[in-house]
Amino acid sequence: MAMAWMLVAMLALVTGDAKCSHVPGDPAAQQIVQFKQRTEGPVGILKTSAGSPIEYKEGYSSITSNLIQHEYLMDSLTHLVRERLPERIVHAKAGGAFGYFEVTHDISHLCKAKLFESIGKKTPVAARFSPVVVERGGIDTSRDARGFAVKFYTEEGNFDIVGFNTPMYVYKDPLLFTTFVHSQKRNPATNLNDLNMFWDFLTLRPESLHMFLLIFSDRGIPDGYRHMPGFGIHTFEVYNDHGETSYLRFHFVPDAGIRNLNSEEGRRLAADDPDYATRDLYNAIAKGDFPSWTVAVQILSLEDVKRMPFDPFDVTKVIPLDEFPLHPVGRFVLNKNPINYFAEIEQLAYSPANLVPGILGGPDKLFEARRLAYRDAQYYRLGANFNKIPVNCPLQTAVLNYNRDGRAPLQDNNRDNPNYFPNSFHGPVPYIDEKRPRNLQLIQDESRNFEQARELYVNELTKQERDSLVSNAVASLRQAAGFLQERAVKWFSLIHSDLGARIAHGLKSNQTNTEYHWQDY
């Protein structure tokens, strides 16, 4: 029943039947009041999890009862301590919503995936936006990168883009994932965030500074999720009906415009409304101001890939827009809030391994490692049957495979079908696609990208953004050990002598405030 209900609800989003309350003020704060207003009285008889009705006296008191025989107490008390899932190691806190993706421009000559097959086609989507480092109870306005994940519920299965709000990523070598996460999280001895660890990683892996130039600039704190761009990070390998390959980088541009907060605004909101971005997203949808993003791609041919002066599959680099401009593909709209956050957002499971015919994914080593890491994380958090949780189910196609048993949910557990393959008894069989190409095989080397970081600093950041970058970097570096400051200044100087000089001057300054305003040298 839950699966059928969700399918109806998600398809309603696609056809435009989503209902909107158009509630003025703060709908998030009034949610429970609105529930009372739209129900005439108690919605039903209180029952145990096994379906037995609770008698009035048992429901209101346990003081005079034999506690072991007080089933309502036993049922609720033993459930309470099991109500939490293991927290995500990164991206623990998030806002999310549901909606649809609509094709506006034809790219079927590049990619045979059915979600792109015709102009006007709509596909249900689920989106989740998340700071990287903060814990689940943390603030929405940290100076941090943000996850930007979109799940497309296509008729060929789920396709996930697990992206970021920056067009580049931190590192190229997946071996660094554990090191990066540990260095950004809490010191195991003090249980405090430690800027010595933070800057040690950045200065030992200077390719990471490209991304952190943006994070320390005015673009480091998005003004809510509705004004935040998204990027697929990887260069995706796709193919058409003839087996011809192309290479795409996905961009999501907010139709309401990109807006960010400065450090002071971020600190104020951290104190006044730590859930600012989550609240803003919920309220906008509840009021009918549906957030939307234009989906576009940069397109490379195999010949383009071969002649590039750098590795176009290096996630710490960007593909230059002046040489490979954006081509619009569609638009995705969020028009439905979750009804139950835990069921629909906390259990929402993304994986780069969720691909569909026509999309082979990124051929780079980081993408390859993420295919394992995300699946393993969901197994740990949600169990082996996490794709049978309603919000993760492929809504538009029946799933037939040879997976069986395990922790609930099981659904029908594939009924009485054969449970091994190959078999001679009419079990499901693979489909044949003689045009499907093999993944491009790469040999990747160490990432070196000071050139792109320099281009970002000189030609893409405004003077105000350069000032903020220096101010925010100095404020953070001041709390790190002296040798880390020296190492950081060295790398910043290699990016650009002006940047290194400004940061060195700021570190030597006796000023204690965290705002620095510099003139161009």
- Best CA proximity match to 129, nearest among 148, 144, 143, 152: 148
Has this prediction a pTM greater than 0.85? yes
- Same-domain status, 138 and 231: yes
Say if CB 351 and CB 368 are below 8 A apart. no
Say if CB 49 and CB 79 are below 8 A apart. yes
- Same-domain status, 71 and 121: no
- Best CA proximity match to 353, nearest among 172, 115, 159, 173: 159
Domain count, the chain: 2
Say if CB 78 and CB 115 are below 8 A apart. no
- Same-domain status, 72 and 154: no
- Same-domain status, 238 and 383: yes
217 Ramachandran zone, left/alpha/beta (phi>0; psi -120 to 50): beta
Task: Give the pLDDT confidence score for residue 12 in this predicted structure.
Answer: 52
Please report whether residue 254 resides in a domain.
Answer: yes
- Same-domain status, 147 and 54: no
Q: Which helix (H) or strand (E) holds 162?
A: strand 157-164
Task: Give the pLDDT confidence score for residue 510 in this predicted structure.
Answer: 53
Whether the upstream peptide bond of residue 320 has omega within 30° of 0, thus cis, is no
Task: Give the pLDDT confidence score for residue 16 in this predicted structure.
Answer: 53
- Same-domain status, 55 and 146: no
Angle at 14 between CA 11 and CA 16, to 5 degrees: 110
Tokens at 243, concatenated: 């087996």
Cα 291 to chain centroid, rounded: 16
Please report whether residue 348 resides in a domain.
Answer: yes
Separation between Cα atoms, residue 469 and residue 500, nearest integer Å: 11
- Same-domain status, 79 and 220: no
**Computed over its alpha carbons, how large is the radius of gyration of the chain?**
25
Domain boundary among 392, 413, 445: 392
Domain boundary among 356, 376, 392: 392
**Amino acid at position 58, single letter:** E
- Same-domain status, 72 and 120: no
Task: Give the pLDDT confidence score for residue 326 in this predicted structure.
Answer: 98
- Same-domain status, 100 and 70: no
- The pLDDT profile of the chain, 521 residues, written as one tens digit per residue, is 445 445 545 555 554 544 444 456 889 999 989 989 999 989 898 888 888 888 898 888 988 889 888 988 888 888 888 888 899 999 999 999 999 999 999 999 999 999 999 999 999 999 999 999 999 999 999 999 999 999 999 999 999 999 999 999 999 999 999 999 999 999 999 999 999 999 999 999 999 999 999 999 999 999 999 999 999 999 999 999 999 999 999 999 999 999 999 999 999 999 999 999 999 999 999 999 999 999 999 999 999 999 999 999 999 999 999 999 999 999 999 999 999 999 999 999 999 999 999 999 999 999 999 999 999 999 999 999 999 999 999 989 888 888 898 888 989 888 888 888 898 888 888 888 888 898 888 888 887 779 999 999 999 999 999 999 999 999 999 999 999 999 999 999 999 999 999 999 999 985 444 444 333 32
Looking only at the bridges linking them, the beta strands covering 292-300 and 359-361 are unpaired
Q: For residue 71, what are the domain limits? A: 46-83
Tokens at 136, concatenated: 């689940």
Integer distance in angstroms from the first to the last C-alpha of the chain? 67
299: β partners: 248
Domain boundary among 358, 392, 426: 392
Q: Which helix (H) or strand (E) holds 466?
A: helix 463-477
Q: Give the CATH number for residue 100.
A: 2.40.180.10
- Same-domain status, 229 and 277: yes
Please report whether residue 13 resides in a domain.
Answer: no
Please report whether residue 154 resides in a domain.
Answer: yes
Task: Give the pLDDT confidence score for residue 10 in this predicted structure.
Answer: 55
